[in-house]
Amino acid sequence: MIALFDDFYANLPLFRNFAEVMDPRLFSPLPGDWVVGTADVVQSTKAIAENRYKAVNMAGAAVIVAVTNALHDRDFPFVFGGDGASFAVPAGVAAAARQALAETATWVKEDLDLTLRIGMVPVAEICAQGLDVRVARYAPSDNISIAMFSGGGIAWADAAMKRGEISVPEAPPGAHPDLSGLSCRYEEIPASRGLVLSLVVAPGANANSEAFRAAIEKIARIVEQTPNASRPVPGQHLRFTWPPAGADLEARASRRADESIRARKIKVLVRTFLYFLVMRFSITVGAFIPAKYTRELIDNSDFRKFDDSLRMVLDCTPALADEIEQHLAACAAKGTVHYGTHRQRAAMMTCFTPSPTRSNHVHFIDGAMGGYAMAANAMKKSAG
């Protein structure tokens, strides 16, 4: 089963033009014995209203980091959703993924004071609902690939989890997943073009596949024509100050089970101070070259994806945001899409760096004032 794990997803062909994300020829069905996992923070909008959006994003990213570390850095498809995440793994490693998910829920409860709802379901069970889980690999850079999901199966699994139908119980108190490489060190990234727009777009009540595809492709084409595809992580706006705003969160993520948060935070502050000096003065340390890492960080930023819904975080002009929202409103009036957007003044980044000397680090982008969670909440409210 490990061979299947290694061969199936890792060997799928890559596509590099995001405007092609709706092309069904790019997607392959997951084998029926694979298992889908999903998670989301309960009452994330309330936590965001209490200015806890960094913790909410940390909880969502922790799901991906914990499963990745539990599977010993093997390649598997996942999607970061701001206040949650979805992923798929082969049956042979599903138990390890389930354990990591359960431990993450306990850690989120005990260390972040949030509730993480979690669930897992076999792909075969999803297919029995008349749906599918199809996956493609999008390469935003030469360093990483990001999974895209279609077929309706991920959306169904997320809804089933929220209904309590595929729930996974939390691990016992004190359980702690391996969250090595998870951090939130960078300051908020202010919009350079006017605003940061977060959007979530799902099929509408009257959608057919061709109409929905056309609606999404138009948005993708509009964005592709903007400078740097409206990427919200331009290098000149990356700010790392010391002590970092996310030091407490990093301490909670990296501490050992028998270690106090205070003791770990002291270590984090020392480590991040050295990192601050290295980055500030561009000091090469062994195989770590700050300028190279920063270039990779920008290239490896995960700011757009598709998991049965289009999700984007864009640094754009008010005029571009208006154009996108007008297009979505027109499509929604026809029943083609169901959508939500949220405007804010900055983006934020949660980082997963398995090794500072390797190029496969990935950086999860969300809006700094609620982002995906607030856009999804707007979508829910528009549905009545």
pTM for the model stands at: 0.94
The confidence band for 38, taking pLDDT boundaries of 50, 70 and 90, is very high
pLDDT at 143: 94
- pLDDT tens sequence across 126-176: 999 999 999 999 999 999 999 999 999 999 999 999 999 999 999 999 999
Nearest 5°: phi and psi at 152? 90, -10
11 token code pair: 């060997």
Give domain status of residue 374, yes or no.
Answer: yes
- pLDDT tens sequence across 42-59: 999 999 999 999 999 999
Nearest 5°: phi and psi at 368? -80, -10
pLDDT at 237: 62
Give domain status of residue 139, yes or no.
Answer: yes
pLDDT at 375: 96
Q: Does residue 2 surpass a pLDDT of 60?
A: no
Instruction: Report d(CA 294, CA 59) in Å as an integer.
Output: 24
The count of domains in the chain is: 1
Question: What is the domain range of residue 17?
Answer: 2-239+291-382
The confidence band for 4, taking pLDDT boundaries of 50, 70 and 90, is very low
pLDDT at 251: 95
pLDDT at 202: 96
pLDDT at 348: 95
- pLDDT tens sequence across 219-266: 999 999 999 889 999 766 678 889 998 999 999 999 988 889 999 999
pLDDT at 6: 53
Q: Does residue 104 surpass a pLDDT of 60?
A: yes
Give domain status of residue 284, yes or no.
Answer: no
Give domain status of residue 153, yes or no.
Answer: yes
Q: Does residue 3 surpass a pLDDT of 60?
A: no
pLDDT at 236: 60
Give domain status of residue 244, yes or no.
Answer: no
In sequence order, which residues have a C-beta less than 8 Å from that of residue 72 and are 6 or more positions away? none
- pLDDT tens sequence across 269-283: 999 999 999 999 999
pLDDT at 205: 87
Nearest 5°: phi and psi at 308? 75, -15
Instruction: Report d(CA 55, CA 43) in Å as an integer.
Output: 13
Q: What percent of the chain has pLDDT over 70?
A: 97
pLDDT at 1: 39
Give domain status of residue 276, yes or no.
Answer: no
Question: Which has the closest alpha carbon to 378: 198, 207, 240?
Answer: 198
Give domain status of residue 248, yes or no.
Answer: no
* Mean pLDDT for the stretch of residues 18-25: 95
> Which residue did the predictor score with more confidence, 116 or 259?
116
Question: Which has the closest alpha carbon to 147: 52, 10, 54?
Answer: 10
Give domain status of residue 256, yes or no.
Answer: no
Residues facing residue 304 across a β-bridge: 312
Q: What is the separation of C-alpha 342 from the centre of its chain, rounded to a whole number of angstroms?
A: 17
